[in-house]
Amino acid sequence: MEDDNKIKISADRLWSDLNEVGKIGYSEGRGVTRTALSDADLEAKEWLSQKMKSAGLDVRIDAATNIIGLLETAKTRPAKILAIGSHLDTVPSGGMFDGALGVVAALECARVIKEHGIKLPWDIEVINFSDEEAAHNAGTVGSRAMIGQLTAKEIYVSKAKGIPPFSEDMKRMGKDPERIGEAARDPKIFEAVLELHIEQGNRLYTEGIQIGAVTGIVGIYRYGVTVKGEANHAGTTPMHLRDDALVKAAPVFTLLPQWVRARSKEMVGTIGQVTVEPGATNVIPGNCSFIVELRSMKRKDMVAIRDVLHEWVGSQQGCTMKTIYEKDSVKLSEQVIDAIATAAEAEGMSYIRMPSGAGHDTQSFAPFVPCGMIFVPCKEGKSHCPQEWIEPHQAADGCQVLLRTVLELAKRAER
């Protein structure tokens, strides 16, 4: 058997693919706009299908518009599947690496495995999951459909006026919304799911670390808080007769980060959306509403801060709080994390174990299938913007560790 140290991905081929697909939907100054099932996304999907076919993969488009490229590498049959993938769709005015890196790297891994004639304990699938970025309604549509966790109803609803639901746009690929359930597969067929992605944060970048072995994906709790006061003339209402909603709400803008920092270093809490009404210079705010978002791997921490917030809300007159949603964190597979760490070490790369602060397709599979994610640093942590950037050697590092992880998992399966 070939020495794993000699099996190397092609950095040039990877970078060339990234640049080819990065041109689809790109415009100067506005970055990449390749929202799911738009013309640009359909073009990217067609580009990928061709690339997969050229690489000798058996390509199909499933009932949820996911693209699946199968490489039969299994030594024995029936064989399980090691799925490697991510998504080619982007946010509006996004970057060329979020999602695309994971898809193109998966393809590169399959190519190298095929070129070296490597036989594995399972078949490999390269997957492009559809609508990760919530173009129509909620995101991770394709991955949730594949693991049978998509509520059929939700594809008929769009998140905003003027945006078609997923059910409409999927017809552009000749897919019948009524049959989306057929995309669901038995979790038991998967040996594992792997995804390479840019960190979308600044930890690896700031600390100069090459690889993040993702331990899990943080939970997200969101609450809508409304503080009611009384709108009144800002010129004629004396200070002592005012009930100013902004003045009542303001302390929590300062308190939230204090509560979160006091609780845990791993946790974040953000108020990113604030509305002050009626919003006129000469009218005392009668209403101040905002959304509090908490993220952490630990349910206990989120519940604790939620309770502190709830107590604060209760102590303020005219203040109410409602739960928008509470999505708990998912842990990725300890065995896969360990394989990633071993792979990074074998390749001589620096790495840390770290949670993902953002959601990913892998998250859909994690409760049912052993999953692993590999992060590479992105410049200044910027993502979802035209400035999103990684260096060619960083893309190659990530792809090489992804490939080595596959080989490492194979080795472990055969032990």
Write out the residues near its own copies by the rule CB under 8 A: 199-203, 206, 218, 220, 222, 232-242, 244, 246-247, 249-251, 253-254, 257, 260-261, 265, 267-274, 276, 278-285, 291, 293, 295, 356-359, 381-384
Q: Which residues lie below 8 Å from residue 209, measured CB to CB, with a gap of 6+?
A: 203, 350, 351, 352, 377
CB of 271 vs its own copies, minimal distance in Å: 6
Determine the Cα–Cα distance for residues 55 and 187; give it in Å rounded to an integer: 27
Alpha-carbon gap, residue 206 to 309, rounded angstroms: 31
Complex with its own copies: residue 177 or 212, whichever CB lies closer? 212
Query: H-type helices in 218-298, by residue range?
Result: 245-263
Q: Dihedral (C-alpha) 294, 326, 84, 60: value to the nearest 10 degrees?
A: -140
DSSP 202: S
Q: How far is CA 179 from CA 62, 64, 127, 157, 407, in A?
A: 10, 8, 20, 16, 36
Q: How far is the CB of 30 from its own copies (least distance, A)?
A: 15
C-beta closer to its own copies: residue 120 or 204: 204
- Rounded least distance, CB 301 to its own copies, Å: 12
Q: Which is nearer to its own copies, 271 or 303 (CB)?
A: 271
Question: Please, which residue, 188 or 265, has the CB nearer to its own copies?
Answer: 265
Provide the total of helices (H) and of strands (E) in the chain, helices listed first: 11, 17
Buried-state track 60-79, b at ≥16 Cβ within 10 A, e below 16: ebbbbbbbbbbbebbeeeeb
195: tokens are 């995804």
For its own copies, which is the closer residue by CB, 47 or 259? Answer: 259
As measured in angstroms, the least distance from the Cβ of 406 to its own copies is 26
- Phi/psi for 331 (5° steps) reads -95, 140
Name the minimum Å distance from CB 266 to its own copies: 8
Count of all residues that appear for the chain in the document: 415
CB of 236 to its own copies, least distance (A): 3
Whole-number minimum distance, CB 90 to its own copies, in Å? Answer: 15
Note the Cα 105 to chain centre separation in Å: 16
Residue with Cβ nearer its own copies (172 or 384): 384
Q: Which residues pair with 275 in a beta bridge?
A: 289
Nearer to its own copies, 190 or 221 (CB): 221
Put residue 174 in one of left, alpha, beta given phi > 0 → left and psi -120 to 50 → alpha: left
CB 24 within 8 A of CB 18: no
Least distance between its own copies and beta carbon 62 (Å): 29
Q: Which is nearer to its own copies, 242 or 310 (CB)?
A: 242
- Residue 261 or 393 having the CB closest to its own copies: 261
CB distance 411 to 246 below 8 Å: no
> For residues 54 and 58, what is the distance between their CA atoms, to the nearest angstrom?
10
Least distance in Å: CB of 412 to its own copies? 30
What is the number of alpha carbons within 13 Å of residue 325 lying toward its C-beta? 6
CB of 43 to its own copies, least distance (A): 27
Contacts of 61 (CB under 8 A, 6+ apart): 45, 49, 67, 68, 173, 175
